């Protein structure tokens, strides 16, 4: 089969299209013939050497959709030819509150990922593709949709009538967070450094948007919430912005953190947390039950993901450059040839 193989860290040129052996399913496993894959910022971090536990060579990619090509011994939940979506969260463990020591995400080391024509995956990690979605739309959902679902529903406990602020709108998880919070009946405010992304967010249902480059967004968000601040902040930015997040959230509010694109937080002022009685919660990926519940929202629930741009598999490097430069709004997709 043809697959993108990364053998070293570096620029986009380290993502090379190669001919490698077809995977063979073992007991309890399936091989999926992929139709489309999606990018995540994690892929860029792995390529550039900014991710923990990098093991190379490896085929990147956590998100994928396609048809079951082969099943291993003991597999009964899917059949050859069935259209499926892959849950990239492997071996969560027994504790629903946090992943176990064996947890990992598809697309690194021996867990070769979805920038390929074929991928091997535990049969328990494949689910029927929601009807009515294109291959590209279905591929967009897994990692970002699961991460957003746990952050908004499980950790954020967002309720109808609450006000939610989503930072860094335009990335995959943040756009899903907007969609899911709106679905729950929340009022959603968004934050970005680009007016065009704020305008796109409005078409997805954002009630208001604020540009952190051109406005005093903390003051404006407070004004938009009657002076009290949002009930919940879903944050992926970190960095110096995190202290502003602690400033703007209402007293007794909830802050859910799932990423830190701006890096470490400089001198977090703990007084903001204890004096305002804030609840700061971390969130990463999610349980199989959360994946199934999230996927139903894009099937039976009628939700749809935001798609940014589709690249052919051989242009995976260019696709990652677009992500690295933060040009996208929604998910970047790779189309995979038969």
- Written as tens digits, the pLDDT of the chain (338 aa) is 999 999 999 999 999 999 999 999 999 999 999 999 999 999 999 999 989 889 999 999 999 999 999 999 999 999 999 999 999 999 999 999 999 999 999 999 989 999 999 999 999 999 999 998 999 999 999 999 999 999 999 999 999 999 999 999 988 999 999 999 999 999 999 999 899 999 999 999 999 999 988 889 999 999 999 999 999 999 988 777 888 999 999 999 999 999 877 677 777 778 889 989 999 999 999 999 999 999 999 988 889 999 999 999 999 999 999 999 888 899 999 999 98
Peptide bond into 83 cis (omega under 30): no
Judged by DSSP in three states, 141 sits in coil
CATH 3.40.50.720 in the chain, residues? 146-282
Beta-sheet strand order (sheet of 254-257): 208-211, 187-192, 163-166, 232-235, 254-257, 279-282
Contact assessment for residue 319 and residue 332, using Cβ atoms and an 8 Å cutoff: yes
End-to-end C-alpha distance for the chain, whole angstroms: 10
The CATH fold of domain 2-141+305-335: Quinone Oxidoreductase; Chain A, domain 1 (3.90.180)
Paired sense of beta strands 118-122 and 163-166, if any: unpaired
Angle at 173 between CA 234 and CA 59, to 5 degrees: 140
**Around Cβ 239, how many Cβ atoms within 10 Å?**
14
Tell me how far apart the alpha carbons of residues 156 and 173 are, in angstroms, rounded to a whole number: 14
CATH 3.90.180.10 in the chain, residues? 2-141+305-335
- Predicted TM-score (pTM) of the model is 0.94
Residue with tokens 């279905």: 138
The CATH fold of domain 146-282: Rossmann fold (3.40.50)
Tell me how far apart the alpha carbons of residues 273 and 280 are, in angstroms, rounded to a whole number: 8
């Amino acid at each position: 089969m043809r697959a993108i193989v990364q053998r070293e860290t570096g620029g986009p040129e380290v993502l090379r299209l190669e001919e490698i052996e077809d995977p063979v399913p073992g007991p309890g496993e399936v091989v999926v013939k992929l139709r489309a894959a999606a990018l995540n910022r994690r892929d860029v971090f792995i390529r550039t050497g900014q991710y923990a536990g990098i093991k190379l060579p490896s085929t990147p990619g956590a998100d994928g959709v396609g048809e079951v090509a082969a099943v291993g011994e003991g597999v009964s939940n899917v059949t050859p030819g069935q259209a499926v979506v892959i849950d990239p969260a492997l071996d969560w463990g027994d504790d629903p509150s946090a992943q176990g020591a064996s947890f990992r995400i598809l697309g690194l080391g021996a867990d070769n990922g979805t920038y390929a024509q074929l991928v091997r995956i535990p049969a328990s990690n494949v689910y029927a593709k929601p009807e009515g979605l294109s291959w590209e739309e279905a591929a967009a959902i897994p990692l970002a949709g699961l991460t957003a679902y746990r952050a908004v529903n499980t950790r954020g406990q967002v309720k109808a009538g609450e006000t939610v602020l989503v930072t860094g709108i335009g990335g995959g998880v943040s756009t899903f967070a907007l969609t899911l919070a709106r679905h729950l009946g929340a009022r959603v405010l968004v934050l970005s450094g680009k007016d065009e992304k704020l305008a796109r967010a409005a078409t997805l249902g954002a009630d208001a948007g604020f540009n952190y480059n051109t406005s005093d967004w903390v003051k404006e968000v407070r004004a938009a919430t009657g002076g009290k601040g949002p009930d919940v902040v879903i944050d992926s930015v970190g960095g110096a912005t995190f202290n502003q997040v602690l400033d703007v959230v209402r007293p007794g509010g909830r802050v859910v953190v799932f990423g830190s694109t701006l890096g470490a937080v400089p001198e977090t002022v703990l007084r903001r947390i204890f004096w305002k009685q804030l609840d700061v919660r971390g969130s990463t990926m999610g349980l199989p039950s959360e994946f199934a519940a999230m996927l139903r929202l894009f099937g039976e629930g009628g939700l749809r993901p935001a798609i940014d741009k589709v690249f052919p598999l051989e242009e995976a490097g260019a696709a990652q450059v677009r992500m690295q430069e933060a040009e996208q709004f929604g998910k970047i997709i790779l189309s995979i040839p038969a």
